């Protein structure tokens, strides 16, 4: 009799956790592995789409006075490209790996709120599809991924592009907040017995720090986008200086989110690197406590840096001095973590598999991006290169080194867990090499273009400016980088 009851209970449990088949079952799925995998796959699809837009922009700039793209379309492409990379690729991909792996690492069956998990994904998916449809409907925003006012206001952008941007950003931030809340609750409340905070893997710590950063940073940009929508729709005056509003308020609200956003992307990547190093160095990361404190320190200090983007706006000198010091201070916890990794690598019997190669590539790229970051943290230097291609180079070194390379390393590392098969090591090595070479060919010349005075976000330039050869080299590098990404795509199919 007892055995019969046990069998019935097991059957009831199986029925409870089983999803219906077909399309209905796909939409009703709440399992953390399925939802996490959907986040990862969807984010990489958006990465590929944004990459195509980047190649089109590079083709436009390959030679002086090129007429491949008109100014409006070029502005739409760089706006959609930037918004996609920042909002639809990097953060959702990190959250996807967190949703999939955190319960497995903590010994819990699922996320704390499975339905909220699914809700966050569908909001993200709908927002992303709607955003890309605007390119084909003539409604794409063209004000940049930061949508500065008054350019994004009703006076200078009377079309619907900015309305689309504010709506989509609000949706995507709701999705990010939903994922962050459930990750925090899962990590703090659903750990297996004996899994104390001091025993958690560094990747889980990184996801926890990222989630708290999202909770504190995202409301700022939601408020900013809602205020802009009110200005555009109901003629309120939050950002209209002639009526007592303050355009600079937009920059404060946006960059209070925008600079922590860089570290929201970076911190989980640091956790991925720690996990991969542990495997391929065959030893735990040196200085566990120091590494955890470094992750927390990076998250905390990142909220004191937003004026780093506003050095040319006429703020008081005392404010500039404070934020210069804060911008340089964040190098301290970052440096501590780097030294923990160096100590881990020192004397280790390293296996140079594809994931490890991507991580070594990260070291070279991110250190260079960090050095240029310290340079632009200096007010006199920043005033010289502000809004030039030097900033474009710095930004992409930080984000491609700090996000794309760790994510590709994580993809190769956890792909057998995600999909049940190994990827080709040969294709992976070629992919890493092409991406590494292509990155430097594309963005290293942009430092010199910035010194030569080429402003960012211009769709063409005159031949006599002398910028043609370096732009040609950058375009060649972009296609080399794309070739590396294509090899990984072929490898995964």
Give the C-alpha separation, 386 to 359, whole Å: 30
What does pLDDT average to over the chain? 90
pLDDT of residue 31: 84
The token duo for 323 is 């934020």
Residue 188 lies in a domain: yes
Angle at 483 between CA 478 and CA 488, to 5 degrees: 130
Grouping H, G, I as helix, E, B as strand and the rest as coil, residue 244 is coil
- 247-281 vs 405-419: helix crossing angle, rounded to 10: 60
Residue 20 lies in a domain: no
Contact predicate 110/44, CB 8 Å: no
422: pLDDT strictly greater than 50: yes
Q: What single DSSP character describes residue 150? A: T
Residue 56 lies in a domain: yes
Give the C-alpha separation, 37 to 182, whole Å: 16
pLDDT of residue 16: 66
Residue 94 lies in a domain: yes
Give the pLDDT band of residue 309 (cuts 50, 70, 90).
confident
Residue 344 lies in a domain: yes
Between the CA atoms of 252, 255, 256 and 259, what dihedral angle is there, to the nearest 10 degrees? -160
pLDDT of residue 4: 54
Least confident stretch, 109-118, 309-318, 400-409, 411-420: 309-318
pLDDT of residue 380: 87
Residue 9 lies in a domain: no
Contact predicate 488/427, CB 8 Å: yes
Residue 451 lies in a domain: yes
The enclosing domain of 89 has a CATH number of 1.20.210.10
pTM for this prediction: 0.92
Least confident stretch, 124-128, 219-223, 370-374, 403-407: 370-374
How confident is the model over 375-382, as a mean pLDDT? 86
The distance of Cα 234 from the centroid of its chain, to the nearest Å, equals: 33
Q: What is the 3-state secondary structure (H, E, C) of 446-484?
A: HHHHHHCCCECCCCCCCHHHCCHHHHHHHHHHHHHHHHH
How many other β-carbons are positioned within 10 Å of the β-carbon of residue 109?
A: 12
Q: What is the CA radius of gyration of the chain?
A: 23
Residue among 387, 277, 394 nearest 338 (CA): 277
Q: How many domains is the chain partitioned into structurally?
A: 1
Contact predicate 75/459, CB 8 Å: yes
Contact predicate 100/40, CB 8 Å: yes
Residue 21 lies in a domain: no
pLDDT of residue 1: 47
154: pLDDT strictly greater than 50: yes
Which domain, by its residues, includes 475? 30-492
The token duo for 178 is 């939903």
pLDDT digits (tens, 9 = 90+) for 42-94: 999 999 999 999 999 999 999 999 988 899 999 999 999 999 999 999 999 99
The token duo for 481 is 């980088």
Report the sign of the C-alpha dihedral through residues 313, 168, 459, 456, in that order: positive
Give the pLDDT band of residue 3 (cuts 50, 70, 90).
low
Give the C-alpha separation, 54 to 399, whole Å: 15
Q: What single DSSP character describes residue 424? A: P
Q: What single DSSP character describes residue 238? A: T
């Amino acid at each position: 009799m007892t055995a019969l009851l046990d069998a019935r209970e097991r059957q009831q449990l199986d029925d409870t956790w089983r999803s219906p088949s077909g399309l209905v079952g796909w939409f009703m799925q709440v399992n953390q592995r399925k939802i996490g995998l959907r986040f990862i796959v969807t984010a990489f699809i958006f990465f590929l789409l944004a990459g195509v837009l980047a190649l089109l922009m590079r083709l436009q700039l390959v030679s002086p006075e090129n007429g491949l793209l008109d100014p409006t379309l070029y502005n739409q492409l760089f706006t959609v490209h930037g918004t996609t990379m920042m909002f639809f690729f990097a953060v959702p991909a990190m959250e996807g790996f967190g949703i999939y792996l955190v319960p497995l690492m903590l010994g819990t069956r699922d996320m704390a709120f499975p339905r909220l998990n699914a809700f966050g994904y569908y909001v993200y998916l709908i927002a992303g599809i709607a955003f890309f449809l605007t390119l084909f409907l003539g409604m794409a925003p063209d004000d940049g991924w930061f949508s500065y006012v008054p350019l994004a206001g009703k006076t200078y952008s009377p079309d619907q592009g900015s309305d689309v941007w504010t709506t989509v950003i609000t949706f995507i931030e709701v999705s990010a907040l939903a994922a962050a809340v459930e990750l925090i609750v899962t990590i703090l409340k659903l750990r297996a017995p004996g899994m104390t905070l001091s025993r958690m893997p560094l990747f889980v710590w990184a996801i926890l720090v990222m989630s708290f950063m999202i909770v504190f940073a995202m409301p700022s940009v939601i408020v900013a986008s809602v205020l802009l929508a009110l200005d555009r729709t109901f003629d309120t005056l939050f950002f209209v200086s002639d009526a007592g509003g303050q355009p600079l308020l937009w920059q404060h609200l946006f960059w209070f989110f925008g600079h922590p956003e860089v570290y929201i992307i970076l911190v989980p990547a640091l956790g991925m690197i720690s996990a991969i190093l542990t495997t391929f160095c065959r030893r735990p990361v040196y200085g566990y406590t120091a590494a955890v404190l470094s992750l927390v320190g990076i998250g905390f200090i990142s909220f004191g840096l937003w004026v780093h983007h506003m050095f040319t706006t006429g703020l008081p000198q005392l404010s500039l001095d404070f934020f210069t010091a804060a911008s340089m201070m964040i190098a301290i916890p970052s440096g501590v973590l780097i030294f923990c990794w160096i100590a881990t690598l020192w004397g280790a019997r390293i296996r140079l598999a594809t994931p490890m190669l991507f991580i070594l590539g990260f070291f070279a790229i991110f250190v260079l991006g960090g050095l240029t970051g310290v340079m632009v943290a200096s007010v006199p230097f920043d005033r010289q290169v502000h809004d030039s291609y030097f900033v474009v180079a710095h930004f992409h070194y930080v984000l491609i080194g700090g996000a794309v390379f760790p994510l590709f390393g994580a993809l190769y590392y956890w792909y057998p867990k995600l999909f049940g098969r190994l990827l080709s090591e040969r294709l992976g090595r070629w992919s890493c090499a092409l991406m590494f070479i292509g990155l430097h060919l594309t963005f290293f010349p942009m430092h010199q273009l910035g010194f030569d005075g080429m402003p960012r976000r211009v769709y063409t330039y005159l031949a006599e400016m002398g910028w043609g050869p370096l732009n040609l080299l950058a375009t060649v590098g972009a296609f080399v980088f794309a070739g590396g990404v294509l090899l990984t795509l072929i490898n995964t199919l």
